[in-house]
Amino acid sequence: MNYGFIKVAASTPLLKVADTEYNSDRIIEVIKSANEQGAKIVVFPELSITSASCGDMFAKNSLLSAARASLKKIIDETKEIKSLIIVGLPVVVKGKTYNCSVACQYGKILCIIPKRDLTNQESRWFTSGRGVDTSTTLCGQTVNIKDKAVLSSQEITLSIAMGNDILRGEYNSEIIAIPYVSPELVGQYKNTKKSIKTFSLNYNSAIVFASAGKGESSTDFAYAGGSIIAENGDILAEGEKFAKTDSLIISEIDTDIIKYERSKISNNYAFDDKTFEFYISADKEFNLSRKINPTPFIPTDKDALSERCEEIFNIQTAALIRRMEHTNSKKAVIGISGGLDSTLALLVAVNAFDKMGIDRSGITAITMPGFGTTDRTYTNAVNMINSLGATFKEISIKDACIQHFKDIEHDADTHDITFENSQARERTQILMDYANKTGALHLGTGDMSELALGWATYNGDHISMYNVNGSIPKTLAKYMVAWVALRNEGEIRSTLLDVVNTPISPELTPADENGNIKQKTEDIVGPYKLHDFFLYNFLRYGFSVSKIFFLAKNAFEGKYDSECIKKWLTTFMRRFFQQQFKRSCLNDGPAVGIISLSPRGGLVMPSDMSATVWLSECEKL
Domains identified in the chain, total number: 2
Q: Is the pLDDT of residue 273 over 70?
A: no
CATH number for the domain harbouring residue 574: 3.40.50.620
Mean local confidence (pLDDT), 54-73: 95
Pick from 292, 302, 380, 301: nearest CA to 337: 380
Q: Is residue 54 part of a domain?
A: yes
CA nearest 468: which of 607, 612, 598? Answer: 598
Q: Which of 15, 55, 63 shows the shortest CA–CA distance to 220?
A: 55
Residue 481 counted as domain residue: yes
The answer to whether residue 50 is domain-embedded is yes
Tell me the residue range of the domain where 225 lies. 5-277
Q: What is the pLDDT of residues 179-197, one digit of tens each?
A: 999 877 787 788 888 889 9
In 533-576, which ranges are E strands?
none
Query: What pLDDT does residue 601 have?
Result: 83
Within this chain, do residues 310 and 263 fall inside the same structural domain, yes or no? no
Asked if residue 350 belongs to a domain, the reply is yes
Return the SS3 of 378.
Answer: helix
**Bridge partner residues of 333 (DSSP):** 364, 442
Cβ neighbors of 475 (< 8 A, separation 6 or more) are 295, 297, 298, 449, 528, 529, 532
Kind and range of the H or E run holding 179: strand 175-180
Buried b (16+ CB within 10 A) or exposed e, 473-493: bbbbbbbbbbbbbeebeeebb
Residues 503 and 541 in one domain: yes
- 93-102 pLDDT, tens digit each: 999 999 999 9
- What pLDDT, in 10s, does the model give residues 586-602? 999 999 999 999 999 89
CATH number, domain with residue 138:
3.60.110.10
Verify that 128 and 261 share a domain, yes or no. yes
- Domain-located, residue 294: no
- Asked if residue 354 and residue 260 are part of one domain, the reply reads no
What is the rounded (10 degree) CA torsion for 610, 613, 615, 618? -170
Q: Rounded to an integer, what distance in angstroms lies between the CA atom of residue 44 and that of residue 49?
A: 9
Residue 130 falls inside a structural domain: yes
| pLDDT given for residue 521 in this prediction | 65
- CB of 273 closer than 8 Å to CB of 149: yes
How does pLDDT run across 300-324, given as a tens digit for each residue?
Answer: 889 999 999 999 999 999 999 999 9
Q: What is the pLDDT of residues 320-363, one digit of tens each?
A: 999 999 999 999 999 999 999 999 999 999 999 999 999 999 99
Neighbours of 412 (CB within 10 A): 14
pLDDT at 436: 97
314 and 405 housed in the same domain: yes
Indicate if the alpha-carbon torsion angle 554, 560, 564, 565 is positive or negative.
negative
* Contact call for residues 229 and 235 (beta carbons, < 8 A): yes
- State whether the Cα torsion 290-295-298-301 is positive or negative: negative
State residue 443's pLDDT score: 98
Q: What is the CA radius of gyration of the chain?
A: 30
Q: Establish if 184 belongs to a structural domain.
A: yes
Output DSSP code: residue 224: -
pLDDT for 72 equals 97
What kind and span of H or E run contains 253? strand 247-254
Strand partners of residue 392 = 365
Q: Give percent of the chain above pLDDT 70.
A: 96
Alpha-carbon span 85 to 274, nearest angstrom: 19
Q: Is the pLDDT reported for residue 86 higher than 90?
A: yes
Across residues 263-290, what is the average pLDDT? 77
Beta bridge partners of 252: 7
* 273 and 321 inside one domain: no
What average pLDDT does the segment 71-88 reach? Answer: 96
HSE, side-chain direction, 13 A CA sphere, residue 116: 20
Mean pLDDT score, 406-432 = 93
Say if 293 falls within a structural domain: no
CB burial string 599-621: b at 16+ within 10 A, e below: eeebbeeeeeeebeebeebbeeb
pLDDT of amino acid 507? 53
Q: What is the pLDDT of residue 218?
A: 79
Question: Which amino acid is present at 560?
Answer: Y
**340 plus 226 within the same structural domain:** no
Q: What is the residue-averaged pLDDT of the chain?
A: 92
307: left (phi > 0), else alpha (psi -120 to 50), else beta? alpha
Q: Are residues 199 and 325 in the same domain?
A: no
Q: Three-state SS string across 48-87, please?
A: CCCCCCCHHHHHCHHHHHHHHHHHHHHHHHCCCCCCEEEE
Q: What are phi and psi of 439, to 5 degrees?
A: 70, 40
pLDDT over 70 at 22, yes or no: yes
- Shared-domain flag, residues 272 and 309: no
Question: In this structure, are residues 166 and 176 in contact, taking their beta carbons and an 8 Å threshold?
Answer: yes
Smallest Cα–Cα separation from 203: which of 229, 228, 235, 166?
Answer: 166
Task: Please give, one letter per residue, the 3-state secondary structure of 335-366.
Answer: ECCCCHHHHHHHHHHHHHHHHHCCCHHHEEEE
Q: Choose one of 277, 293, 327: the last residue of a domain.
A: 277
Distances (CA, A) of 537 to 41, 118, 285, 446, 545: 26, 42, 23, 21, 10
Nearest by Cα to 82 from 282, 287, 285, 281:
281
> Whose CA is closest to 506, among 489, 492, 490, 518?
518
Q: 155 and 228: one domain?
A: yes
DSSP state of 290: S
Instruction: Examine the domain organization and report whether 506 and 388 are in the same domain.
Output: yes
- d(C-alpha 138, C-alpha 485), whole Å: 67
Residues of the chain by 3-state class (helix, strand, coil), percent to 5: 40, 20, 40
Beta strands in 117-170 (DSSP E): 133-138, 141-146, 149-152, 157-160
Same domain (yes/no): 316, 268: no
Measured N-to-C along each axis, helices 255-263 and 528-541 cross at an angle, to the nearest 10 degrees, of 50
Kindly state the average pLDDT of the residues 221-235: 89
3-state per-residue secondary structure call for 418-485: HHHHHHHHHHHHHHHHHHHHHCCEEEECCCHHHHHHCCCCCCCCCCCCEECCCCCCHHHHHHHHHHHH
Report the alpha-carbon distance of residue 576 to residue 409 in Å, rounded. Answer: 32
For residue 167, give the DSSP letter. Answer: G
Contact (Cβ atoms closer than 8 angstroms) between residue 51 and residue 18 = yes
Q: Is 277 helix (H, G, I), strand (E, B) or coil?
A: strand
